[in-house]
Amino acid sequence: MKIRQLFDYDTWTYTYLLWDEATKEAAVIDSVLEQVERDTQHIQELGLNVKYLLETHIHADHITGAGPIRKRTKGKIVVHRNSGSECADILADEGDSFKLGEQEIKVLHTPGHTNTDITYLIEGAAFTGDTLFVRDCGRTDFQLGSNEDMYHSLTEKLFTLPEDTLVFPAHDYKGFSQSTIGEEKQFNSRVGNGKSFKDFSTIMDGLNLPNPKRLDISVPGNLKCGDLDD
């Protein structure tokens, strides 16, 4: 599977294009509304046939570009079933999978940041959304986030993947672009090196982060799949 990482500078969001080189069947993970022109031009130049628009969760910090891209590509929007999304084409859950040519993208439910988090797995790489960041993890203090769920998703699900699995997060705030499961097991600041749930929970409860600036418009916008004019 070919992977291309794209960055939205204003919201520190990573969008990913995945495609099967043989058939050019493609998926877009976590597009950003303001980048739809860039992304659709890139899709066209690469000659890709977008089959799936995969969302790792209902975002609170930006509005997805999935709806507008669907109109131009006929790709199907995939969101976790807990979202109750009425604009998505597929409400996915653990164990579901999607094919690009002969290659498979598998769904792992990894809640904790919200209750809608999906990690998309391909051979050798995990697209971990706001669950696992490089040396960090997503916040757990709104949108049905939960320290218990996050700790379980990180330590019992993601950290049981092969250690050389590449980690591609939905955001980074320090300039990292990727990591591996092995590195995160060892060096993740929140749960690495065998940190206990109690220590993890103390860190998370002490973060005192301000609400995302775009929270009020992002969640409703994402429940419309970014089709704000419809």
How crowded is residue 206: how many other Cβ atoms within 10 Å of its Cβ?
7
List residues bridging with 170 in a β-sheet: none
Under the binding rule (CB under 8 A), the answer on residue 95 touching a copy of itself is: no
CA–CA separation, 144 and 150 (whole Å):
11
Return the number of the residue (49 or 178) whose C-beta is nearest a copy of itself.
178
| Distance of closest approach, residue 229 Cβ to a copy of itself, in angstroms | 24
How long, in residues, is the chain? 230
22 binds a copy of itself (CB under 8 A): no
Based on the shown chain and the rule CB under 8 A, indicate whether residue 71 belongs to the binding site for a copy of itself.
no
- Which of these segments, 42-50, 67-75, 143-151, 204-212, binds a copy of itself (CB under 8 A)? 42-50
Phi-psi region of 22 (alpha: psi -120 to 50; beta: other; left: phi over 0): alpha
Q: Binding-site residue total for a copy of itself (CB under 8 A)?
A: 20
> Which span (2-10, 137-145, 147-155, 219-227) binds a copy of itself, by CB under 8 A?
2-10
The first and second tokens of residue 219, run together, are 């969640």
Task: Choose between 48 and 88: whose C-beta lies nearer to a copy of itself.
Answer: 48
- Chain center to CA of 221: 17
Measure the CA angle with vertex 30, ends 24 and 32; round to 5°: 105
- The dihedral through the CA atoms of 160, 163, 164, 168 has a sign that is positive
Cα-Cα-Cα-Cα dihedral sign, residues 210, 212, 217, 218: negative
Least distance CB 222 / a copy of itself (angstroms): 20
Window 171-210: residues binding a copy of itself (CB under 8 A)? 172, 174-178, 183, 186-187
Nearer to a copy of itself, 177 or 202 (CB): 177
Per-residue DSSP letter, 75: P
Interaction between residue 30 and a copy of itself (CB under 8 A): no
Q: Which residues bind a copy of itself (CB under 8 A)?
A: 4-9, 35, 38, 42, 45-46, 172, 174-178, 183, 186-187
